[in-house]
């Protein structure tokens, strides 16, 4: 089964050690949702994924990666 992995933790660190709460407020979700996304437990909607990419000024494929489990 495939999984969506992401670079959010690294990108937060590179953007002035942005907290999960700060990111959550920028993309209009709760801190717990950011945490779940970061840990790969929850795959965000396309809209939220684009918002996260926009916050970090990165293209979507630089933030999220799809792996098919191989």
Task: Give the footprint of another protein on this chain (CB under 8 A).
Answer: 28-30, 32-33, 36, 39, 41-45, 48
In three-state secondary structure terms, 54 is helix
E strand residue ranges, the chain: 3-6, 64-67
Identity of the residue, 14 or 21, whose beta carbon is nearer to another protein in the bound complex? 21
- Within 8 A by CB and 6+ apart from 3, the residues are 40, 66, 67, 69
Identity of the residue, 40 or 70, whose beta carbon is nearer to another protein in the bound complex? 40
Identity of the residue, 55 or 70, whose beta carbon is nearer to another protein in the bound complex? 55
Closest approach of another protein to the CB of residue 11, in Å: 20
């Amino acid at each position: 089964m495939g999984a969506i992995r992401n670079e959010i933790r690294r990108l937060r660190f590179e953007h002035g050690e942005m907290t999960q709460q700060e990111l959550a407020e920028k993309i209009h979700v709760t801190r717990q949702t950011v945490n779940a996304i970061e840990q790969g437990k929850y795959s965000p909607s396309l809209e939220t994924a684009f918002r996260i990419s926009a916050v970090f000024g990165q293209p979507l494929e630089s933030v999220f990666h799809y792996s098919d489990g191989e």
